[in-house]
Structure 1
């Protein structure tokens, strides 16, 4: 048989005897293809890009799966069965890798384990055993990459997991437990965030974190936010700001929630992204001069809002828009506790609004 070419070369007398005892059969399409390849001719394009050994082995392993199902073991195959396998897979391999990917994907999704995840071992049978064998010393050809890509596309994996000799840096699918472990998050926290974002279906019956699967690509940006979760109650102290000031900063988009969602259902969703807190503090430090003594007429933001009878949101919009040119901050003061503005400058901006300000400023009726 074709898959025993090396053995034929090594034991010619034995194979001559066996051939004399074996009933003749028509040359299979795979055998005819090999003969043409040995004569320097071309045939099926996808197979032509492989060595003869790769092409034959791939065709027979695929045929074994097609003809006898995933429970059939290669070691139990007879010569007649290998011949049948080669014939069974020939129409598939001549069509190229697109048809092959589709067939493997369908086979994979048919074999679902008790946890609801597809099982490559139960789906691919002897093909799996061949490609995943620790004794596989020769390059099996492009079939390995195809099987790997089909598995990545359909099976939940662990970030960094070795798959057919190559680590999977970012799986397309992964369980909540696997993602949480790789990203250093608690699985319950991660699940709450993903449900709020709609990445997980919160209406489905609850399952363990090991069984709930998420699209890693969709989850990744949310994971980065979850890593920087800061409870809203802590933000005033971190910025040395009042609660109304924090609310105004959220409304202006200077502070961002972990989830900007219409129906925030958890403390996680309402929490603030710590990176936006650091950005606000950096803005204050880099944008305004630090002084030892407050300039004449300059007051804290809350006092300025009181004197000018405008909202804290308006003061902050002018501040972050850099429309107030004389803003300063007191040395030794943290965050907003040291920021000083001139009420007269605020009034001037309200009387003659700068470009690109909100309607609240442009149509102020003070």
Structure 2
């Protein structure tokens, strides 16, 4: 294979395509596309960072491929690229835009008799968050020809545009490199940074910082589409002091924002509180994983904002809201909102006065459990017939919380408070049927709960706890009866338990014994 001679060395701050374009100017005086075609290296393969294309060019040029590959941005998947072991979305690069520092390029050309052989497209200019020249303290400029080969970033074909940029007025005030840009460059050089950022992909860390910073610097009404490169740079600077403190600091900041926004009429609104940060993370076409910022924001919203079960929140349905509006849970549970308000207010779950019905917010789990009980409520007066037992036995079951009131004693002024959860009734009766055999002929020594209490001089509550606690083993059911009246107990076994009660029996039952 014929090699190019003499060698035009690769510069460790440039891209492989920049080196190829300089070689084209050096060896042929022409454009990079024709030069690479003559060498059998497809220009698009080199632009995409294809390793074989890069290695072939190095072999022909007599160049050690290691530094060239080290500066190669390669495609590793659908809109996913890689540089120096760091993976990132394609949007982390400038894409077809060629970003330059006119002052750096002026120095390139001033130091060489043949400017096209000297123009170097710096690797860091290919990165979207790099917006300031660290050497000259000026904002970088974006160029684009609007032709098919924009992705080659061939500076030699942009001489006119570059010279125009050199003539443009530059802000005489020096602009320091942002700490976010400095972080990006150092991370690609192998340095450690703030732990929360280092735990994410580099593009995720940058985007989260910029989005948080935009919210802090420009407010929730700012839209991403109207942000200039200068504004994005300012956003990165604004967000940096927050993100370096880690996830907890980010979470605390987001909590403060939703709490402040929630003080207004209508309560907290994530979209109004978080603006384009929320819009970005809730976008239905969000094809790229945004990183941990999404779960952080989602957690804050769930903890501080009323939600509806099943609502899509930042890409996931809400499985268990922490807070919900009374009107929402009432509708979901098929209960009239007025009934729900009255029940929840009687239980002390919402204030007796205050917001209108549509604005009332309640703890979701507590409200769901109470509404479920209300939907299955059975008036206490009906329970003896349903369980085929006496009122004192029902009272004992309620005391033991084997039957749970829909509302507890402090709230019995409510009619619903004088009811129990009908599911408890069904569960107790089903348990008896599953645990104890029904017989047609009951042994004489086995007697009903009432007679057992009488013979053993025990309280009904003590017998019921031992029965439903599984301590009584010699128990049968009279097949001619139903419910609790069908239960037959061996008094001798009960006497033994009363004489030496199990350690796990409650103190209240020990007292009853």
TM bucket normalised to smaller = 0.7 to 0.9
Q: Give the structure 1 partner of residue 233 of structure 2.
A: 83
Q: Give the structure 1 partner of residue 58 of structure 2.
A: none
Distance of 2:249 and 2:464 partners within structure 1: 61
Distance of 1:46 and 1:113 partners within structure 2: 31
- How far residue 269 of structure 1 moved from its aligned partner, in angstroms, is 2.2
Residue 414 of structure 2 is aligned to residue 263 of structure 1:
no
Distance of 2:463 and 2:299 partners within structure 1: 52
Distance of 1:164 and 1:178 partners within structure 2: 19
Task: Check whether the contact 1:148–1:164 (CA below 8 A) recurs between aligned residues.
Answer: yes
Q: How many residues align?
A: 352
Task: Check whether the contact 2:210–2:239 (CA below 8 A) recurs between aligned residues.
Answer: yes
Task: Check whether the contact 2:213–2:239 (CA below 8 A) recurs between aligned residues.
Answer: yes
Task: Check whether the contact 1:193–1:269 (CA below 8 A) recurs between aligned residues.
Answer: no
Residue 352 of structure 2 is aligned to residue 203 of structure 1:
yes
Residue 361 of structure 2 is aligned to residue 213 of structure 1:
yes
Structure with larger Rg: 2
Distance of 2:228 and 2:392 partners within structure 1: 80
- Alignment partner for residue 141 of structure 1, among 274, 281, 291? 291
TM score, norm. by length of structure 1 = 0.77
Counting only pairs closer than 5 Å after superposition, residues 1-366 of structure 1 correspond to structure 2 as: 5-9=94-98, 11=144, 12=153, 13=158, 16=162, 19-20=165-166, 21=168, 23=170, 25-29=174-178, 30-112=180-262, 116-183=266-333, 185-198=335-348, 200-205=349-354, 207-208=356-357, 210-282=358-430, 284-285=432-433, 290-292=438-440, 304=451, 314-315=459-460, 317-318=462-463, 321=466, 329-339=477-487, 354-356=499-501, 359=511
Q: Which has the higher contact order (CA 8 A, sep 6+)?
A: 1
Distance of 1:44 and 1:250 partners within structure 2: 57
Aligned pair in 2 of structure 1 residues 19, 161: CA closer, same or farther (>3 Å)? Answer: farther
TM score, norm. by length of structure 2 = 0.57
- How far residue 157 of structure 1 moved from its aligned partner, in angstroms, is 0.9
Q: CA RMSD in A?
A: 4.0
Distance of 1:139 and 1:127 partners within structure 2: 14
Distance of 2:162 and 2:332 partners within structure 1: 58
Residue by residue, what CA displacement relative to the aligned partner does 1:2-28 show, whole Å, maximum 9, x if unpaired? 977224348354974675336254232
Give secondary structure in 2 for the equivalent of 1:272.
strand
Task: Check whether the contact 2:449–2:463 (CA below 8 A) recurs between aligned residues.
Answer: no
Residue by residue, what CA displacement relative to the aligned partner does 1:142-161 show, whole Å, maximum 9, x if unpaired? 22222222211211111121
Residue by residue, what CA displacement relative to the aligned partner does 1:101-148 show, whole Å, maximum 9, x if unpaired? 221221222223865421121122222232233443322222222222
Give secondary structure in 2 for the equivalent of 1:332.
coil
Distance of 2:205 and 2:164 partners within structure 1: 25
Task: Check whether the contact 2:258–2:268 (CA below 8 A) recurs between aligned residues.
Answer: yes
Q: Which moved more, 1:31-40 or 1:153-162?
A: 31-40
Give secondary structure in 2 for the equivalent of 1:262.
helix
Distance of 1:121 and 1:109 partners within structure 2: 13
Distance of 1:156 and 1:296 partners within structure 2: 61
Task: List runs of 5+ in structure 2 lacking aligned partners.
Answer: 1-90, 99-142, 145-152, 502-508
Distance of 1:332 and 1:67 partners within structure 2: 79
- How far residue 294 of structure 1 moved from its aligned partner, in angstroms, is 6.7
